[in-house]
């Protein structure tokens, strides 16, 4: 009898261990927005968190009309290379880029009202792009389907209207499948109502479901990298630089430009878009422009290279690329990024020219600058005797544009040219003096 009790105890313990072994941790996150940088960052964070939580299964709750192919391809690759089993539940739509992501998962579940397909590559206006883009997408869809042992012809039919699938898709139309149609051809494992039904269909025994929580930082980053905000930040960057060069010493314009640069590049860097070399290219452009304005006379190679580096750094940070390889992004996205930057730069200069003086005189701006003047009539004098340098001659040690540095009696002074531009090394005559600033004219030899 004692042996029988021990045997029963062992059996019960074994069954309990089996039940515990069957319990799994499921990591759940939603993909219900346009496929883009934010979705790519969400996916990376979700997969990292799933690994940290020891999850055996990842469920993607999807409802998207698609988005940018380059980010969909990155998400697709992340899913294919994941050691954790992946399941997608298509709540309503898995169109275009969403279809590519869905068929990369190990299992596909769909609600009765859901659709999958319509994956032709289109531009922002919904116009179908040329054949080379469709060819790339067909290849990605076909390879993904083959990797998950699904019919590659159907995946190709999502993209190419010329693919004919008897009894399912006539020639001349892009394929979109309902849940029941997808189930018949192996692109849907079952029709279910919700995520809980997916868990039940998988036979998971009371799993621990960990839901991904989007942080405040994620929301802020998604806001900052939106095209409209990126364009506004570029406008502030260029406008600030333009103001600073037009009125050296203000400081506030430079501060605006620096803050706008941080808000522009930081989110793109965190999203994996802006690389170190692209940010470096932007900084190089700034340095070259400063050299052109304050060191090198005229406007030549340094200024042109500075503008090119500036545009390149801002534009390349907006697109997904591997150095100068734009296979995934495509030339159209790169062109759009470059035009966005150039448009913002032109707009910044126009706004600066038209509204610059009004802005400087505005009450808000006046609060940011020193208003008081220390006039000699009020008893203020400088350490240097006022007027002591008038009629003396000196040499321009830097280009005067119109401000710069001159040397008089072997001492350096801040100088302002009354003749406009004066080349470095030119002989100058002091016309008047205000404190440590001297006003000079060029002596014609």
Q: What is the pLDDT of residues 147-169, one digit of tens each?
A: 999 999 999 999 998 888 888 88
> Which pLDDT score, from 0 to 100, does residue 150 have?
95
Pairwise CA distance, residues 12 & 103, whole Å: 41
pTM above 0.85, yes or no: no
Task: Determine phi and psi for 159, rounding to 5 degrees.
Answer: -105, -45
Tell me: pLDDT of 17 over 70.
no
- Which band of pLDDT confidence, cut at 50, 70 and 90, is reported for residue 437? confident
Pairwise CA distance, residues 378 & 60, whole Å: 74
Q: Which CATH class is domain 376-442?
A: mainly beta
Pairwise CA distance, residues 233 & 10, whole Å: 68
- Which band of pLDDT confidence, cut at 50, 70 and 90, is reported for residue 410? confident
189: tokens are: 């494992």
Determine the Cα angle at 45 with ends 224 and 67, to 5°: 55
> Which pLDDT score, from 0 to 100, does residue 12 have?
54
Pairwise CA distance, residues 139 & 155, whole Å: 9
Helix, strand, coil tally for the chain in percent (to 5):
50, 20, 35
> Which pLDDT score, from 0 to 100, does residue 339 have?
86
- Which band of pLDDT confidence, cut at 50, 70 and 90, is reported for residue 378? very low
Q: Tens of pLDDT along 326-373?
A: 665 667 677 888 888 888 888 877 876 776 555 555 555 555 444 444
> Between 322 and 395, whose confidence is greater?
395
Pairwise CA distance, residues 429 & 441, whole Å: 5
> Which pLDDT score, from 0 to 100, does residue 241 have?
79
> Which pLDDT score, from 0 to 100, does residue 94 have?
94
> Which pLDDT score, from 0 to 100, does residue 105 have?
97
- Which band of pLDDT confidence, cut at 50, 70 and 90, is reported for residue 20? very low
Task: Tell me the CATH number for domain 22-214.
Answer: 3.90.226.10
Work out the average pLDDT over 428-445.
83
Pairwise CA distance, residues 91 & 110, whole Å: 6
| Residue 33: partners with Cβ closer than 8 Å, 6 or more residues away | 39, 64
Q: Which helix H or strand E contains 89, and what residues bound it?
A: strand 85-95
> Which pLDDT score, from 0 to 100, does residue 355 have?
64
Pairwise CA distance, residues 137 & 158, whole Å: 10
Helices (H), 30-121: 37-52, 69-80, 97-102
CB 51 within 8 A of CB 227: no
CB 115 within 8 A of CB 95: yes
Average pLDDT over the chain, rounded to an integer: 81
CB 173 within 8 A of CB 117: no
120: tokens are: 């032709």
Tell me: pLDDT of 177 over 50.
yes
Work out the average pLDDT over 15-31.
69
Pairwise CA distance, residues 323 & 142, whole Å: 27
Work out the average pLDDT over 71-89.
94
Tell me: pLDDT of 386 over 70.
no
> Between 445 and 265, whose confidence is greater?
265
SS3 per-residue string spanning 182-210:
HHHCCCCCEECCCHHHHHHHCCCCCCEEE
Work out the average pLDDT over 32-42.
86
Q: Tens of pLDDT along 297-306?
A: 556 788 889 8
Q: Could you state, in order of their start, the residue ranges of all structural domains in the chain?
A: 22-214, 217-366, 376-442
Pairwise CA distance, residues 290 & 276, whole Å: 21
- Which band of pLDDT confidence, cut at 50, 70 and 90, is reported for residue 414? confident
- Which band of pLDDT confidence, cut at 50, 70 and 90, is reported for residue 6? low
> Which pLDDT score, from 0 to 100, does residue 108 have?
97
Pairwise CA distance, residues 213 & 29, whole Å: 8
- Which band of pLDDT confidence, cut at 50, 70 and 90, is reported for residue 224? confident
- Which band of pLDDT confidence, cut at 50, 70 and 90, is reported for residue 123? low
Work out the average pLDDT over 236-255.
72
By C-alpha distance, which of 142, 145, 95, 88 is closest to 115? 95
413: tokens are: 């002074």
> Which pLDDT score, from 0 to 100, does residue 14 have?
56
Q: How far apart are the first and last CA of the chain?
A: 124
Helices (H), 81-226: 97-102, 131-147, 152-157, 179-184, 195-201, 216-224
Pairwise CA distance, residues 273 & 186, whole Å: 36
Strands 411-417 and 403-408: antiparallel
- Which band of pLDDT confidence, cut at 50, 70 and 90, is reported for residue 382? very low
């Amino acid at each position: 009898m004692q042996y029988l009790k021990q045997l029963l105890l062992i059996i019960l313990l074994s069954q309990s261990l089996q039940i515990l072994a069957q319990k799994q941790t499921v990591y759940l996150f939603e993909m219900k927005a346009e496929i883009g940088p934010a979705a790519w960052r969400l996916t990376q964070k979700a997969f990292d968190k799933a690994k940290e939580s020891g999850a055996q299964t990842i469920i993607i709750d999807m409802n998207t009309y698609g988005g940018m192919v380059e980010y969909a391809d990155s998400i697709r690759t992340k899913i294919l290379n994941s050691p954790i089993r992946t399941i997608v539940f298509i709540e309503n739509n898995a169109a275009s880029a969403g279809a590519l992501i869905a068929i990369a998962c190990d299992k596909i579940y769909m609600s009765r009202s859901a659709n999958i397909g319509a994956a032709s590559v289109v531009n922002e206006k919904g116009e179908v792009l040329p054949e080379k883009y469709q060819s790339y997408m067909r290849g990605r869809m076909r390879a993904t389907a083959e990797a998950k042992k699904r019919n590659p012809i159907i995946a190709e039919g999502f993209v190419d209207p010329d693919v004919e699938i008897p009894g399912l898709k006539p020639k001349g139309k892009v394929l979109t499948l309902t849940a029941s149609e997808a189930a018949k051809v192996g692109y849907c494992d079952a029709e279910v109502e919700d995520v809980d039904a997916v868990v039940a269909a998988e036979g998971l025994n009371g799993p621990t479901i960990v839901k991904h929580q989007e942080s405040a930082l994620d929301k802020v980053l998604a806001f900052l990298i939106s095209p409209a905000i990126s364009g506004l930040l570029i406008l502030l960057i260029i406008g600030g630089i333009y103001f600073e060069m037009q009125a050296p010493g203000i400081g506030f314009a430079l501060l605006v430009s620096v803050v706008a640069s941080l808000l522009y590049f930081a989110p793109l860097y965190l999203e994996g878009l802006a690389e170190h070399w692209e940010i470096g290219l932007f900084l190089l452009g700034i340095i070259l422009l400063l050299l052109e304005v304050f060191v090198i006379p005229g406007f030549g190679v340094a200024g042109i290279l500075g503008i090119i580096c500036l545009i390149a750094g801002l534009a390349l940070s907006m697109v997904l690329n591997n150095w100068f390889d734009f296979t995934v992004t495509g030339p159209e996205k790169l062109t759009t990024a470059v035009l966005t930057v150039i448009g913002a730069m032109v707009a910044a200069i126009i706004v600066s020219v038209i509204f610059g003086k009004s802005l400087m005189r505005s009450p808000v701006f006046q609060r940011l600058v020193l208003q008081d003047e220390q006039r000699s009539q009020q008893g203020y004098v400088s350490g240097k005797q006022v007027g002591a340098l008038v009629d003396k001659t000196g040499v321009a040690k830097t280009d005067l544009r119109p401000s710069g540095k001159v040397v008089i009696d072997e001492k350096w002074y801040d100088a302002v040219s009354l003749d406009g531009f004066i080349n470095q090394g030119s002989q100058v005559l002091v016309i008047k003096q205000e404190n440590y600033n001297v006003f000079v004219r060029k002596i014609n030899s």
